Chains A and B, each alone.
Chain A
Amino acid sequence: MKIAVPVQFVPDLVEELIVDAQGNRLDPYAIRWILNEFDDHAIEQAVILKEKGGADITVIAPDFEGADDALFAAAAKGADHLVKITADYDGGINAHALARLFAPILDGLKPDIILTGVQAHSSLDGSAGALLAETLGLPYVGYVSGIDAAGGKATVRKEYPGGLTAILDVTLPAVFGIQAAETPPRYVPITKVRQAMKTNQIDEESQDLDLSGGLEPARMYPPEVGQRAAMLEGDIDDVAEKIAAILSDQGIL
């Protein structure tokens, strides 16, 4: 079974987010890119499927800073082929652009299953996976947290609102937007990543970027903190007392 995992990078929220001088996007110099957490789950789910019944996994990433590390880490976990897409990313990236970057490669690869993170916190134009699926003419199910596949068909667990989940049957090939892998992403020891660097190659492809379909904001800004919480001061005991008093006032105690 052939599995492809297109991934993307998002601003690491551990770092401070700074709006650039023009005021309508994040300062690219302040951003530290990190593999989208949901894509990490997608890679994990691909490896789980490989462990369940065998698969050939290709991971595809845009050439952002840290892409090589992320690809080799994926190889250390079990990915078989690594592809990096170079393009002019200076003007930014969005879900529509990503879908267009991935589509031709996937068209050529013809995987049975495409797994990608269902969302990215930096997106303002929806899910790259959904856009990608339709571009390729493939069915799409998002918010997937479990997959079994055999004989041209996949059975997936999709999340519905209210904590409900449902089992769906999907004819392959198909694209799945991963919410969570069946088990959390495993740890990959550095020695294994280093081994992967020696035994794996990253294929590079070059493409043009097309951002249309998404919108460039006119302004970006941190949310107004007008109604910020009243912070309770004091040591552990003081604060516990205060909270107990607040709860008492609310009629809880």
Chain B
Amino acid sequence: MNNDIYVLIEHVRGQIADISYIMLAQANQLAPSTGGKVIALLLGQGAQGLASDLAADRVAYIDHPALAEFTGEATQRVLADILARETPRLVLMGDTTIGSDVAGMLSARLNLPLVSACRAIRVEAGCLAFTSQTCGGKMMADGVLPTGTTLVLMVPGAFKPDQGRAAKAPAVETLAAPDLGGLRVSLKQYNEPASEDVDITREAILVGVGRGIQREDNLELAQELAEALGGVVCATRPVVDQNWLPTTRLVGKSGKTVKPKVYIALGISGAPEHSESITGSEMIIAVNTDAAAPIFDMAKYGTTIDLLDLLPVLSEKVRQAKSG
């Protein structure tokens, strides 16, 4: 076994996901202790250009038409081929709608241990220790990674994406793709999100609604506040699943990551699938009747007053302050 750390680079439609840079930062922090190199795995078709700012010792690039768009099956086959020859210390993948598919398949195929929802890996007493989150963010789990090649699915933790970006382009080594015939999964088309809708990733003021909004008609109250503030309403998964807001407004693991100046979280518990996508907010104000909700661990200010009671009064005060 070598001591290298592999990082699977996630990219969709020419955009590299932040989690890829975060994982590179984590890998770079560990590599000196494992005594290996950080190798970014970049799969695609004509995608070499994406390697330019990856903070890795080198990039292993695999080019193939079947890799033009991500499918778990094709990616998994390529990685399995590489891992049949190489035995790195760790393979880091994003705990996302991309990485999570791949890691599970690889673990079963190659009989490699898998740890998910991992926020951080560190060296402790000569071992690699991990911290993962579980139970909707209400519990943390610490443990020791086994000594063989281990797959780790990572979520954003202490590292910021900038820490994984390189000023100088790394060396790129092109590897031959394995046989990718007989694939059973193929991407037909992307669904463009409604283009007339706002881009919440560009908004400075966001009013986020979660399950606590209870009913579709209560959204009106949130819209009023957003309007009064000159911001926009966004939502967590349950709200979007009910079709109360379009998916373009979804903030979370399978939605968008936002970095507003102010994020007002209404009736949002703060479970990781959502909270990991708002950590970039300058300030979070949380409204939730459950004093133990995890959202209060990341908000700057909070209140347990019922949002349905608070909103009309708050909107009015905002309007007054703006006009007065």
Contact = CB atoms under 8 A, between A and B. Distances in A.
Best-surrounded residue of A122, A140, A164, A167 (most CB of chain B within 10 A): A164
Contact of B188 (A17, A130, A169, A236): A169
B134 A126 contact: no
Contacts of A231: 291, 296, 301-304
Contact of A13 (B97, B138, B141): B138
B317 A241 contact: yes
Interface in B220-262: 229-230, 237, 241-242, 247-250, 253-257, 261-262
A160 B98 contact: yes
A186 interface: no
B100 interface: yes
Interface size class of B (residues with CB under 8 A): 35 or more
A166 B108 contact: no
B185 A170 contact: yes
Best-surrounded residue of A118, A142, A228 (most CB of chain B within 10 A): A142
Given A130-B103, A230-B302, A163 B313 contact: no
Interface stretch (B1-9, B49-57, B82-90, B109-117): B109-117
A125 B184 contact: no
Contacts of B283: 250
A17 B116 contact: no
Contact of B104 (A26, A140, A184, A217): A140
Given A163-B247, A184-B241, A223 B140 contact: yes
Contacts of B123: none
Contact of B301 (A11, A130, A232): A232
A161 B296 CA distance: 25
A96 interface: yes
A150 interface: no
Interface stretch (A69-77, A79-87, A174-182): A174-182
A107 interface: no
Contacts of B73: 139-140
A129 B105 CA distance: 9
B289 interface: no
Interface in B134-172: 134-146, 153
A115 interface: no
Contacts of B310: 236, 239-240
A171 B256 CA distance: 30
B72 A166 contact: no
B76 to A, nearest CB: 8
A169 to B, nearest CB: 5
B78 to A, nearest CB: 15
A145 B144 CA distance: 35
Contact of A252 (B247, B257, B261): B261
Given A131-B107, A160-B254, A243 B140 contact: no
A143 interface: yes
Interface in A188-221: 212-221
Chain A contact surface mostly: mixed
A216 B108 CA distance: 18
Contact of B191 (A11, A135, A167): A167
Contacts of B104: 95, 126-131, 133-134, 140, 142
B113 A236 contact: no
A221 B304 CA distance: 24
B103 A215 contact: no
A225 B297 contact: yes
A247 B318 contact: yes
Given A126-B104, A142-B72, A163-B250, A221 B135 contact: no
Interface of B: 10, 12-13, 15, 17, 69-73, 76, 96-98, 100-109, 111-117, 132-146, 153, 184-191, 193, 205, 229-230, 237, 241-242, 247-250, 253-257, 261-262, 271, 282-286, 291, 294-305, 309-310, 313-314, 316-318, 321-322
The 5 closest A-B CB pairs, nearest first, are: A130-B104, A229-B302, A134-B108, A217-B141, A229-B299
15 contacts: A13-B136, A128-B104, A130-B107, A132-B108, A142-B72, A159-B254, A160-B70, A163-B249, A166-B190, A177-B101, A215-B144, A220-B139, A231-B304, A241-B317, A242-B301
Interface of A: 11, 13, 17, 19, 26, 95-96, 99, 118-119, 121-135, 139-143, 155, 157-171, 174, 177, 179-180, 184, 212-223, 225, 227-232, 236-237, 239-244, 246-248, 250, 252-253
